[in-house]
Structure 1
């Protein structure tokens, strides 16, 4: 309900309808401007002074007609489907007609034009401008900014404004008297006008109620609006604040002169900017300053009035009123301004001047759980700083986001000297970058966020590792089942059948029984070989028979020849190793034997050295003197070694070095 409604293509199939609407808007807006210019020309012809033009409302009506018509044409041009533009055009034409009518009436009177013509012009003047005040402007405010009512419940309000608007026009158009001294009376004047005073009073109250309801609608829209809608509404708020700054002091102190009405044209200008170009600048900063000075002005006026009343009878005769009051007001306002500015800034920019509060909100959201609390964190930061968009990303993916993304500035999240993610912050409308105040708050917030992102990543990696372990376990079980079912199972079944057959033939056909026993021995040996193969796959038996160092030396002796027949000298250096956990022994053995096998198969090395060291961590290092052949392409062997190291929380690296190939793996002694 709060976004700007873009013009949509008509359903009639005529693509020229929007262009016709734009042309109509330009023509009607030009009509209002032309009337104002004609009024200025006629004022020069009848030789009106500026004071006369001001007193006859030519200046005020002309300026309002010019701004409402122009701004309405701009809105209708860019948003033809939004009725606010058309209402403003009608409002501007009404004021412009009154503006041109005032000097025209004077000119007709001076040149003794027939009285009927003069009375027609006077009637048009009296009846043209009231519609702008009673109908077009309150209805436009009720529909601001998207051209739709706040909800269907507000439809009776709009209908009430439309139905009761003629009463104000009748009140203004039927009143007695001439426009200027000696001028003609207009038509449609009521002889019993004064007797209807209760009706006119009700009409005035109706106008106040209409504008009060329009303002209430805007307040409700602001509370429900998103960031874009609030920026649009703030433009109108800024114009209203400035208008009140101009009009309120005069109304409270000396009465309202005519020229304060010149502040009213700020309303159509603000509405046009809000609908067409609301992102022109950071309106919140401007409104913040304007609200501060508006409140301060009201405070100063009130203080001035109170102090004048108090000091009038005590100090005016001795010290002079104005000097004392000015000094006292200055002393009162000096400490109020900073506090007032902080209150307004908090309403517009949230808690950005209170970083501790923002950090506390982030901590509360994180305490709900790392994974579950991240969406709450970004929403808390966005709400606390009144930002249009906040998100947290890691490894190129969004962990959580809130708001609508526009221009985004990243803030690095660092943990342990490493960037673990980014806090993506959307810039407010009109900003080209983050202010230092915002950056200070976000820097403070980035510390717990970085810890949370790091914890989230570790949690994700742990879950992934668990899933991989479960998958590997199930695959290993599947492989064992297949090997037992397809290999060992049929062999043992054949052994059983052969044994039964030999038992049956031993007394009747000894020769055939002997042949079956020979087959039985062969099948039994095959079954034993299958069992040994399965056992070796689970854990190399050499580790239990010879230990890690003995098993590696045995394996090194078996890898002394390359495929081309050249010999390879493999040395094993592993003195003083303490007893190791079984999982660590298997991982070190598999990595070392795979690395030595790669040396024999793929390099042209003549010497390889396997070194095992153990201090706070177990270190496995395999080096060779083979010539460099460029970067190593990752294959199944390298990937398997890397995975074995990662499973036990270790690190792995492999590749060419200036002196030959190098494979290096480290394992923490306190294995997971």
Structure 2
């Protein structure tokens, strides 16, 4: 029950404060209208002080944020309402006293309000706001006396200016309700107030500096803007003449706006959006009204009802276009281009199209998403089989807790991770939908990065295989053919010398050299056959397979039935494709005979316009699912991958094993 009553009381107080802010702004509008209706010679210098501009801005912001339990919001509302009352009273008093020595009571009250309503606004602005900014709490208990003295100074100064003839600003009209106090008392009060005000202002600024030094990075960003603006505004209020003091004071609401908008000072989003739109729309509408009424009033020489009606019609005419443009500008300020998803997708598409590589495309796309949607952190991860994942990020990756999978057909190639905006609890549904579409775009890049990784790995294997082949040939030449030839040369040298002295010894030496040379010729043929089987040049691909398949086993008992057939233009294949097809088919037949115990083997080669298809079927024991690929199976896959093709080993349709390979005719092209 107590909590319910406390909540009802708090809501009632918030409602009352908001109504007060609305009434203060309305009073300011009446004062501005009265100012325009006053003859130019009798008008007050209303805009020589910042209250007419700072007042409504702070009153609106404070009224919208009320109820959040923050003293800074309450102070903002108080400053705004007090400033609006002061500015409206100045306009009404000038209008009432223009050409009249005995104005109506309402104008006399307005003149009295001009004497003291600026005090709560100015002193709260200079003393209390720095003490409580940004979280609404004092820096520590030690600052309570300073806050108490500041509050006491505001109350005492307000009462003195309202009910005595003490006027710190000077140039004020006589106070109609002034109490008579001894001059000695007034002198003592002025002697105390004059040094106390700047001393408390310096202490309040020192509190803000200490708070800045102890704050975290986010708090420092919030304090820095407002702290600098407050220091400049307070200093300018003491030493700078108009309009410099007005410009300096206007820096404070601007800085608060930056702290709230950019760094989410009060943890709001929707309320902030509506506040900014409403404040900007109110200000623009007021400017249009004042401009039209002032211009027509100057032409007509009077501000009658018709001029006011024309001003109202002008405001109504521009209201909707202004609202649309201001809402769009505020949305972009807070959420980037979230409201224009086609533009975001177009930006990302252009980045992906113009990037020099898939990895560069990911990095630039992540930066574009973060900038266009004003997200504090964006990260994308692409998973690569048998390799470390590729990660590109902007901001702090640990903050990116919302994940969107990168789906390419039925495969998930990675994930897009984003962080929610500061001061929000979750991503907006518009963000979720747009980021899902962007993840689909990035999936294609992730798949391309996987292909590039596979191609790079295949290239590395190709280079490694080439170097291994060179090492083997060097070893064969150095350890086999070289010594044979050297031995044959030495035998022939000895035979040459023996012909002159012992002819009988020459013949056996020549016979030995001849045998060594024959062995060398055999090694040369073996090396050449390892590089490229001569049968391919003599018999073609199908003939070479028939010669090395059935031809080798035809005379053996229990030899399997091997059928080799081909179709298409197999005679004009590139050399690398022809050798790869021969080795893959030969290895598949060898495995079927040695390991599967096959009795029937069928090899079919089909040359198409884009590649060569190879299918080797056998009726052997098949390939178990948990079998570990040996060197033979891996070599078939590597040979296909080196050319940008593919090789797959699976169970045959009627049992046994099927080896299916596809080799593109353009070496290194896509498989």
**TM-score for the superposition, normalised by structure 2:** 0.61
Matches of 1:403 and 1:68, distance apart in 2: 31
Matches of 1:621 and 1:374, distance apart in 2: 39
Match among 612, 618, 623 for residue 618 of structure 1: 612
Alignment partner of 1:533 is 2:568: no
Match among 473, 493, 496 for residue 466 of structure 2: 473
Matches of 1:557 and 1:75, distance apart in 2: 94
Matches of 1:360 and 1:611, distance apart in 2: 48
Alignment partner of 1:287 is 2:272: yes
Matches of 1:332 and 1:314, distance apart in 2: 25
Please show how residues 80-99 of structure 1 align to structure 2 within 5 Å: 91-98=146-153
Matches of 1:103 and 1:302, distance apart in 2: 32
Shift of 1:339: 1.3
Match among 325, 330, 341 for residue 344 of structure 1: 330
Distance change in 2, residues 1:89/1:382 (3 Å) = farther
Q: Is the 8 A contact 1:393 1:421 kept in 2?
A: yes
Match among 314, 326, 333 for residue 319 of structure 2: 333
Match among 648, 662, 665 for residue 658 of structure 2: 662
Match among 348, 356, 381 for residue 369 of structure 1: 356
Q: Deviations over 1:304-360 (max 9, x none)?
A: 5566666899999889x9988766644442332121111222222223334454455
Shift of 1:574: 0.6
Distance change in 2, residues 1:291/1:478 (3 Å) = same
**SS of residue in 2 equivalent to 1:634:** coil
Alignment partner of 1:382 is 2:382: no
Distance change in 2, residues 1:472/1:359 (3 Å) = same
Distance change in 2, residues 1:634/1:237 (3 Å) = closer
Alignment partner of 1:642 is 2:637: yes
Q: Is the 8 A contact 2:379 2:394 kept in 1?
A: yes
**SS of residue in 1 equivalent to 2:627:** coil
Q: Deviations over 1:8-60 (max 9, x none)?
A: xxxxxxxxxxxxxxxxxxxxx9xxxxxxxxxxxxxxxxxxxxxxxx9999999
Matches of 1:359 and 1:72, distance apart in 2: 38
Matches of 1:662 and 1:291, distance apart in 2: 70
Aligned residues: 511
Q: Is the 8 A contact 1:542 1:551 kept in 2?
A: yes
Q: Is the 8 A contact 1:390 1:425 kept in 2?
A: yes
Matches of 2:351 and 2:538, distance apart in 1: 57
Match among 261, 272, 282 for residue 297 of structure 1: 282
Counterpart of 1:205 in structure 2 is: 240
Distance change in 2, residues 1:318/1:532 (3 Å) = closer
Shift of 1:531: 0.9
Q: Is the 8 A contact 1:605 1:625 kept in 2?
A: yes
Please show how residues 32-71 of structure 1 align to structure 2 within 5 Å: none
Matches of 1:367 and 1:93, distance apart in 2: 63
Distance change in 2, residues 1:627/1:481 (3 Å) = closer
Counterpart of 2:475 in structure 1 is: 482
Counterpart of 2:393 in structure 1 is: 401
Counterpart of 2:42 in structure 1 is: none
Please show how residues 475-624 of structure 1 align to structure 2 within 5 Å: 475-557=468-550, 567=558, 569-578=560-569, 579=571, 580-616=573-609, 617-624=611-618
Structure 1 unaligned regions, length at least 5 = 1-28, 30-53, 78-84, 106-114, 169-200, 223-231, 239-273
Matches of 1:636 and 1:208, distance apart in 2: 87
Please show how residues 187-336 of structure 1 align to structure 2 within 5 Å: 203=238, 205=240, 234-236=258-260, 281=267, 283=269, 285-303=270-288, 305=290, 329-336=315-322
Q: Is the 8 A contact 1:65 1:91 kept in 2?
A: no
**TM-score for the superposition, normalised by structure 1:** 0.61
Shift of 1:477: 2.0
Counterpart of 2:339 in structure 1 is: 353
Q: Considering only aligned residues, what root-mean-square deviation do their CA atoms show, in Å?
A: 5.3
Shift of 1:399: 5.1
Counterpart of 1:130 in structure 2 is: 197
